[in-house]
A and B are shown apart, each in its own frame.
Chain A
Amino acid sequence: MNGNGDGPVVVAADVARRYGQGETAVDALRGVSVEIERARLTAVMGPSGSGKSTLMHILAGLDKPTSGTVAVAGTEITTLGDNELTKLRRRHIGFVFQFFNLLPMLNARENITLPLTISGEKPEDGWVDKIVGDVGLSDRLSHRPSELSGGQQQRVAIARALVSKPTVLFADEPTGNLDSTTGNEILELLRRSVDDYGQTMVMVTHDARAAAMAHRVLFLADGQIVRELGECNAHRILEVLEEIAA
């Protein structure tokens, strides 16, 4: 695994994010501090517009906070230049999108190995095959994304995120665009990668059952972390969500 030591992989301190200026400014995050622990699945929940996606983007270095600091694998990322950020993304960060974001002209295999192609690394022997096997795509490798179902596309996306063994993997509503059966399969897959490879993962979800598979659940409301739960069942999570909404 990348990243050294046993401490948290991602540390955010007092992160605030404001969109726009003046009268119409929106405070999407107002002082969020959080630590993401190694080899654990952390779920982020909260009402729509509570700032979940914004937090994810900032933790993943896709966006910069208005104030506060974020460290990934020990590196402070809010002040990094574009080149260092690119290097950081290659080594430490994986991302799974709600809309898959596959490259239409590449087949499944090429999409999966794309991060390695980009960084110019040679995949470890058997690693790609192992991932492909684990996500259950062995017989679909030569298909283009347009020839795959939504669930298969998301499997390709997950394999793509795992292939470079990132220190932390972010997934923003990875099942948001899928039916519930397919969604469950995807969730299983994500959870398994945490268990089997020790992959650190942060996942935004609206689905309490999904969150129930996490080691830890963070609740966001109005741009702040308002509650936190350890491993628990879906019922409990729904209760907390209702509390927050009230």
Chain B
Amino acid sequence: MISVSLRGLLGRKLRAALTGIAIVLGVAMISGTYILTDTIDRAFTTLFTESYAGTDAVVTGRGLDISIDGESPPNPPVDASLLDTVRGVEGVALATGTVLDERNTKILTAEGKAVSSEGAPTFGFGIDTAPELDQFNPLNVLEGRWPASADEVVIDVGTADDQGYSVGDMVEISTLQPKRSFELVGVAQYGSLDSLGNASFAVFTIPAAQELLDRQGQYDAISVAANEGIAEDELVAAIEPVLPDTAKVVSATAEAEDQVDEVNEFTAIFRYFLLVFAGIALFVGAFVIFNTFSITVAQRTREFATLRTIGASRRQILGSVILESLVIGFAASLIGLGLGVLLAEGIEGLFRALGVELPTADRVFAMRTVIVALVVGVGITLAAGLFPAIRATRVPPIAAVREGATLPKSRFAPFVPWVAGIAVLVALVVLARAMFTDELGTADRLLSIAAGVLLLFLGIAMLSSHVVRPLAAVSSPIGRWAAFAFAVLFWPLWLLPYWLMRYGAWGPGSAARRVGAFVGGALLNPLVALVVLVMWLRRAVTSWVPEWPAEFPGVVPDRVAARTGGENACRNPSRTAATAAALMIGIALVAFIATLTNGMKVSNREAIEEQIAADYVVTSLDGYTPFVAAAGDALAASAVPELVTSVRSDGGLVDGNSAEIGGIEPDAIAEAYVFDWREGDESLLATLGTTKAVVSSNYAEDHDVAIGDEVTIRSTADRTAKVTVVGTFEPPPFYPLLESVNVSRELFDSLYDRPRNRWTWANVAGEPDDGDRARMEQAIAGFPDTQLETREEWIEREDADFNQFISFLYVMLTLAVFVSIFGMINTLVLSVYERTREIGMLRAIGMTRRQVRRMIRQESIITALIGAAVGLPLGIFLAALVNRALAEYDIRFAIPWVQLVVLTIVAIVIGILAAIMPARRAARLDPLRAIAYE
């Protein structure tokens, strides 16, 4: 029996392959994701374990327990004299001090701008490179030597390669001091890692690093190695007593684990993010598989009945259909698993295109990847094939003798609309609960949303078979005219050259005419020449003969073909609905993202325009990491701007809670920033001094702070100040530009050692002009990590950054759309197969090949348009729902009409593309054979 069902599968190779693709892509995404994130994990794990290989314990400053959005500031440095103290501890064999700064060291390009790190760390090291201390050094010099004097530097090989720097070159580097030129004396890599992603590093001598990074007489870390036979823990216990309160010691293992955990947490998020898209693709794939199996089972009714009459039990029928899905699922998962390797490269390339370098190491292909990919791939195929398999068992033996026997209606058929209705209701309740109640944790909330959306899609898909007819009626003329429009558009560029070249290759007539036709066609569109070349090769190699005469390409719409195609689309509404549903999911998600993000862009612009009165803004190159405060001062020193004001920013503790603290200039801020006061007014700013603060109304509410309350601010440098809250303001929740707790810049600078600006705003007298701008840019030219933009440019760059992210989401969703295209092709192929006789009959009574093709194409376009007609409103509805759920951020709701129209056109194109292959198959059917076909 097993061999029987396998033989059946072999007999339906094309269909099996098309079904399998539905799973292949999703599984490839899963395996690609795991391969990629495992590789990143491995890279960092190796990095950290390697870098602590010769170290047993690490002494650092004791930082505050601050965590903002899950990130903690680095530990503060310790006094350099501590190194000798530690060296004196019993059991210590060796110790060395290191300077390490994560973000202030920017290597410059030859043009003098900072190499963009897209938010990744830009390390500055001061390392004692004495040979006896080599065991502590995580870096390996690949070429050249370590720096020996203050004007020498070693940089990472990745940056050196990218920027074309080689040993002996002079390289400009900006640090907390103005940029300076260093001689590149070597290139190094971190451990054995080829690339650190976007991160870069520069290694100086210790005294140089201390000076450049503002750490005179300090180390960021002291690495310690124990004497032979002393365990890490013993070493830690021995060092602890000699340390001041401001320092701490941890074992190297613990430190490495800490850092590994931190990275793993990040890659886990990244992994889940990518897996979501794999999930979507698989969900769509499940629809395709369900549909394909349903159709094939229906088409095999007679076969199953015959098997029943010769003694097959229901269980055997069930088993044989399940076995088929098992084989398809397994084969597809295996292929997907392999394809994942390529996809991992693809995703990496995609990120690179977005400017994000991922750290590289040898690809990690974990057993877990294999297991998850196979289990999920096979599991989904089985689950999607189960219902059709059960229906196959309902085929009664008597169907073997009934002409044109069809699958009996499912016993549950009458309940389907009810079930679907209930599913939609439940989905809405689940979604509402997930979005509008507070009691759920983030994980629960995300899971509920996922489950709700899944259920909603399922319910809508089940219901949509009832609207197939009206939607088809509406889509039919749209499809016809769209097909006409496309035909006209492609006539000179595709259809005509194709015909000309075919004529040239196989047509009758004189050699001159044929050559002329061929050359003319090739001139019109050389690309088509490739297609004809392939045909020519195929003719040469196989027995295939290209058909001639080929119909001269025409564009006049054909009512008969279009109408028949439209009728075909309605013939089996549930089949059309299920096919459209697969596409509907992709379209709904794209529409969802387009609508939601369109609102966000509008809100972003409004938020900036509402708050900022300044003509110019200075930010760091990436637009969000704070930059050296001196840059703001340099601009202020310039004579061009009428007014310059900077906003400092750093993390700290306010009454023991983590918070972002801002430092504003009381006398100037109001000229550039428009406060929306809730309590108090602008006159307060002048009174801030070093004892008062203004806070955002959100902060005041969340932390129960009222006017007149005193709060204690503790900075990362561990200095504290008590301030009285004198005013509250209400920034637009979508994009507040000021921090939640703002003190005067004077107080801020006394709290932090290396203050940094989040913004520097400038106003010029009169209208901004290019001359002013050039001179201001000149003023900050010494700070290569900064950029000056007008307010409009700033808004547009933020939009552009955002657009990039949205495009990334779209690209990831394409996977799901691809799956649905294969679903459409599959359904069409099966329908053509099912209607072989009918098409033969139509051909016999005079339908031309072109009409047959158009008929199939029209059916396909209508199916795609139904997908769009259901998907677009659904996506908009979901966006509205999420918009309501995010009410606290006050996001505008703005329907992106243009994008939705584009999306509809994309759907039509998808319909046309999906029809190509099935339409050709249908048109090739020989009328006589088709009729004789049993």
Besides A86-B313, A89-B308, A95-B400, 8 other CB < 8 A contacts? A86-B312, A95-B310, A103-B306, A105-B8, A106-B7, A118-B310, A160-B310, A161-B310
- Partner of A83 from B1, B313, B396, B934 at Cβ < 8 Å: B313
Encode contact with B along A54-84: 1 for CB under 8 Å, 0 otherwise: 0001001111000000000000000000110
A-B contact pairs, 25 of them (CB 8 A): A62-B397, A62-B398, A63-B398, A82-B313, A83-B314, A86-B312, A86-B313, A89-B311, A90-B311, A95-B310, A97-B306, A101-B309, A101-B400, A103-B306, A106-B7, A110-B4, A114-B4, A114-B307, A114-B310, A117-B1, A118-B310, A118-B316, A119-B311, A160-B310, A164-B310
- Partner of A101 from B302, B314, B316 at Cβ < 8 Å: B302
**A119 — which chain B residues lie within 8 A by C-beta?**
311
Among residues of A, the one whose C-beta sits closest to the C-beta of B400 is A101
- Partner of A105 from B1, B11, B313 at Cβ < 8 Å: B11
Cβ of B686 within 8 Å of any chain A Cβ, yes or no, is: no
Cβ of B401 within 8 Å of any chain A Cβ, yes or no, is: yes
Cβ of A184 within 8 Å of any chain B Cβ, yes or no, is: no
**B93 — which chain A residues lie within 8 A by C-beta?**
none
Encode contact with B along A105-130: 1 for CB under 8 Å, 0 otherwise: 11000100011011110000000000
Among residues of A, the one whose C-beta sits closest to the C-beta of B10 is A105
Interface centre among B3, B10, B313, B314 (most CB of A within 10 A): B313
Taken together as a complex, chains A and B put the C-alpha atoms of A110 and B303 apart, in Å, by 15
Among residues of A, the one whose C-beta sits closest to the C-beta of B9 is A105
- Partner of A118 from B11, B312, B396 at Cβ < 8 Å: B312
Interface size class of B (residues with CB under 8 A): 20 to 34
What distance in Å separates the Cβ of B540 from its nearest Cβ neighbour in chain A?
A: 29
- Partner of B310 from A63, A89, A110 at Cβ < 8 Å: A89
**B934 — which chain A residues lie within 8 A by C-beta?**
99
Task: Tell me whether A118 and B1 are in contact in the complex, defined as CB-CB below 8 angstroms, given that A62-B309, A101-B306 are known contacts.
Answer: yes
- Partner of A115 from B3, B10, B303, B311 at Cβ < 8 Å: B311
Taken together as a complex, chains A and B put the C-alpha atoms of A53 and B402 apart, in Å, by 11
Among residues of B, the one whose C-beta sits closest to the C-beta of A103 is B303
Taken together as a complex, chains A and B put the C-alpha atoms of A104 and B308 apart, in Å, by 16
**B8 — which chain A residues lie within 8 A by C-beta?**
103, 105
Cβ of A37 within 8 Å of any chain B Cβ, yes or no, is: no
B309–A103 CB distance below 8 A: no
Taken together as a complex, chains A and B put the C-alpha atoms of A160 and B307 apart, in Å, by 12
What distance in Å separates the Cβ of B45 from its nearest Cβ neighbour in chain A?
A: 52
A117–B4 CB distance below 8 A: yes
**B397 — which chain A residues lie within 8 A by C-beta?**
61-62, 89
Taken together as a complex, chains A and B put the C-alpha atoms of A97 and B396 apart, in Å, by 16
Encode contact with A along B874-892: 1 for CB under 8 Å, 0 otherwise: 0000000000000000000
Chain A to chain B: the 9 pairs with minimum beta-carbon distance, closest first: A105-B11, A90-B311, A101-B306, A86-B313, A62-B398, A115-B310, A105-B7, A89-B311, A62-B397
Task: Tell me whether A164 and B311 are in contact in the complex, defined as CB-CB below 8 angstroms, given that A101-B302, A101-B306, A103-B303 are known contacts.
Answer: yes
Among residues of B, the one whose C-beta sits closest to the C-beta of A56 is B401
Task: Tell me whether A118 and B401 are in contact in the complex, defined as CB-CB below 8 angstroms, given that A103-B4, A105-B8, A106-B7 are known contacts.
Answer: no
Within 8 A of A (CB), among B348-402: 396-398, 400-401
Taken together as a complex, chains A and B put the C-alpha atoms of A120 and B8 apart, in Å, by 19
Taken together as a complex, chains A and B put the C-alpha atoms of A60 and B316 apart, in Å, by 20
**B400 — which chain A residues lie within 8 A by C-beta?**
62, 95, 97, 101
Taken together as a complex, chains A and B put the C-alpha atoms of A38 and B400 apart, in Å, by 26
A118–B307 CB distance below 8 A: yes
**A83 — which chain B residues lie within 8 A by C-beta?**
313-314
A95–B309 CB distance below 8 A: yes
What distance in Å separates the Cβ of B152 from its nearest Cβ neighbour in chain A?
A: 76
Taken together as a complex, chains A and B put the C-alpha atoms of A142 and B526 apart, in Å, by 49
Taken together as a complex, chains A and B put the C-alpha atoms of A229 and B553 apart, in Å, by 69
**B312 — which chain A residues lie within 8 A by C-beta?**
86, 118
Task: Tell me whether A106 and B401 are in contact in the complex, defined as CB-CB below 8 angstroms, given that A86-B313, A89-B310, A115-B310 are known contacts.
Answer: no
Among residues of A, the one whose C-beta sits closest to the C-beta of B303 is A103
Within 8 A of A (CB), among B273-328: 302-303, 306-314, 316
Among residues of A, the one whose C-beta sits closest to the C-beta of B3 is A117
Within 8 A of A (CB), among B4-41: 4, 7-8, 10-11
Task: Tell me whether A53 and B401 are in contact in the complex, defined as CB-CB below 8 angstroms, given that A103-B306, A114-B310, A115-B310 are known contacts.
Answer: yes
What distance in Å separates the Cβ of A182 from its nearest Cβ neighbour in chain B?
A: 17
Among residues of B, the one whose C-beta sits closest to the C-beta of A146 is B934
What distance in Å separates the Cβ of A80 from its nearest Cβ neighbour in chain B?
A: 13
Taken together as a complex, chains A and B put the C-alpha atoms of A62 and B311 apart, in Å, by 11
**A117 — which chain B residues lie within 8 A by C-beta?**
1, 3-4
Among residues of A, the one whose C-beta sits closest to the C-beta of B12 is A105
**B3 — which chain A residues lie within 8 A by C-beta?**
117
**A118 — which chain B residues lie within 8 A by C-beta?**
1, 4, 307, 310-312, 316
**B1 — which chain A residues lie within 8 A by C-beta?**
117-118, 120
Encode contact with A along B398-413: 1 for CB under 8 Å, 0 otherwise: 1011000000000000
Within 8 A of A (CB), among B829-865: none
What distance in Å separates the Cβ of A144 from its nearest Cβ neighbour in chain B?
A: 9
- Partner of A82 from B4, B11, B314, B398 at Cβ < 8 Å: B314
Among residues of A, the one whose C-beta sits closest to the C-beta of B398 is A62
Among residues of B, the one whose C-beta sits closest to the C-beta of A164 is B311
**B310 — which chain A residues lie within 8 A by C-beta?**
89, 94-95, 114-115, 118, 160-161, 164
**A103 — which chain B residues lie within 8 A by C-beta?**
4, 8, 303, 306-307
Taken together as a complex, chains A and B put the C-alpha atoms of A160 and B400 apart, in Å, by 15
**B314 — which chain A residues lie within 8 A by C-beta?**
82-83, 86
What distance in Å separates the Cβ of B314 from its nearest Cβ neighbour in chain A?
A: 6
Interface centre among A63, A97, A104, A118 (most CB of B within 10 A): A118
What distance in Å separates the Cβ of A146 from its nearest Cβ neighbour in chain B?
A: 9
Among residues of A, the one whose C-beta sits closest to the C-beta of B312 is A118
What distance in Å separates the Cβ of B74 from its nearest Cβ neighbour in chain A?
A: 68
**B306 — which chain A residues lie within 8 A by C-beta?**
97, 101, 103
B302–A86 CB distance below 8 A: no
Among residues of A, the one whose C-beta sits closest to the C-beta of B307 is A118
**A89 — which chain B residues lie within 8 A by C-beta?**
308-311, 397
**B316 — which chain A residues lie within 8 A by C-beta?**
118
What distance in Å separates the Cβ of B777 from its nearest Cβ neighbour in chain A?
A: 75
B401–A97 CB distance below 8 A: yes
Task: Tell me whether A86 and B311 are in contact in the complex, defined as CB-CB below 8 angstroms, given that A57-B401, A103-B303 are known contacts.
Answer: yes
What distance in Å separates the Cβ of A105 from its nearest Cβ neighbour in chain B?
A: 4
**B396 — which chain A residues lie within 8 A by C-beta?**
62
Interface centre among B310, B313, B316, B934 (most CB of A within 10 A): B310
